[in-house]
A and B are shown apart, each in its own frame.
Chain A
Amino acid sequence: MNIQEFYNYFQISLGVADVVKEGVFLGFILVTLGGALMATCSTRTIRAIFGLVVCFVGIAGIYYFLNSPFVSLMQLMIYVGAVAITIAFAIMLAEPDENKRAAKTPPLAGPFAVLLGASVTWALAAASLGAKWMAPAIVVNEGTVTQVGEALLTKYSMAFELVSIVLLLAILGSLVVARSGRDKEC
């Protein structure tokens, strides 16, 4: 019995799979939004970071549903493994005690922020939902990992190189900025 027979043996075509799939999708959306809410609204910075991580994980799931596991995994690796950790490090270095952080927010910032955020959301949603999107007439490729890789090295090689230069400069720049003013050389 090879693996395909095994698959077929257990194949269930009752639509249960779809329900589960939708459930998982809904779960990812909730995780994303909940994480975003936590990232913006919690008073403790550590929780904000945690919310951000949760949000990133949710988005990674969403990408998976958008049929691009590669980007989904890159999302995990770069956002969770690098960006979130970097921010966490920034907090460790720059905010040793969180206790003193009280309601320093200016009094109008809260309502104003809610208003602004809501209106931006509404505008964007209205714009994108209201528009008539046309499905593509032809599909050139399916966007598999191989195709992405080929595109990166042919069509977008210039952008690719530029991004690598940007990253290099970012590393150098952050080194320079972070080291200046540190008296103890080590």
Chain B
Amino acid sequence: MLALSTQLNTYLLLGAMLFGFGVFGLVKRPSLIGMLIAAELVLCGASVNFMAFNHFLAPDKTVGQIMTLFIMAIAAAEAAIAMSIIVAVYRNYKSVETQDLADLQG
């Protein structure tokens, strides 16, 4: 039977697809928040890859896990900062649409 869960390629494909979804969302989303969500997907895609390599290929199986944990910490920090920026931007421009923020490019 097809044992998907024991094959590295499944995870790699999943990671690639998540990354792709993230890139797709980053371009497509009109608002800062949508882009933030897409960025989280990109990070998740990377994490999945790390974890997969860690499980199947790494001799020291702590490395990938620790990498993923660091990514999580960075993602949390990123989300906090992004949120504060979004709130600040909204307060000044009354919008989080990227089109409306063209004057930020000053």
| Set of chain B residues within 8 Å of A19, measured between Cβ atoms | 1
Decide if A175 touches B84 in the complex (CB within 8 Å).
yes
Contact with B along A139-166 (1 / 0, CB 8 A): 1111100011001100010010001001
Decide if A66 touches B11 in the complex (CB within 8 Å).
yes
B contact face: mostly helix, strand, loop, or mixed: helix
Decide if A39 touches B21 in the complex (CB within 8 Å).
yes
Contact with B along A99-133 (1 / 0, CB 8 A): 00100111001101110111011101100110001
What total of chain B residues lie within 8 Å of the partner, measured CB to CB?
82
A-B contacts at CB below 8 angstroms, number: 269
Decide if B13 touches A129 in the complex (CB within 8 Å).
yes
B4 at the interface (CB under 8 A from A): yes
- CB-defined A-B contacts under 8 Å, sample of 29: A39-B21, A40-B24, A45-B34, A52-B37, A62-B14, A62-B51, A71-B51, A71-B69, A74-B69, A75-B72, A78-B73, A82-B76, A87-B33, A87-B40, A104-B30, A117-B20, A117-B27, A121-B21, A124-B20, A128-B16, A128-B49, A133-B8, A136-B59, A139-B61, A143-B65, A169-B77, A170-B80, A175-B84, A180-B88
Counting from the closest, the 6 A-B pairs by CB-CB distance are A117-B24, A143-B61, A121-B20, A170-B77, A174-B84, A40-B25
List residues of B whose CB falls within 8 A of some A CB. Answer: 1-5, 8-25, 27-31, 33-34, 36-38, 40-41, 44, 47-49, 51-66, 68-70, 72-92, 96-97, 99
Besides A75-B72, A90-B83, 15 new A-B residue pairs in contact (Cβ under 8 A), listed by A number:
A22-B2, A36-B18, A40-B41, A91-B33, A116-B23, A122-B20, A125-B17, A128-B16, A140-B59, A141-B60, A148-B66, A171-B80, A174-B84, A177-B85, A181-B92
List residues of A whose CB falls within 8 A of some B CB. Answer: 18-19, 21-22, 25-26, 29, 32-33, 36-37, 39-40, 45, 48-49, 52, 55-56, 59, 62-63, 65-68, 70-71, 74-75, 78-79, 82-83, 86-87, 89-91, 93-95, 101, 104-106, 109-110, 112-114, 116-118, 120-122, 124-125, 128-129, 133-143, 147-148, 151-152, 156, 159, 163, 166-167, 169-171, 173-178, 180-182
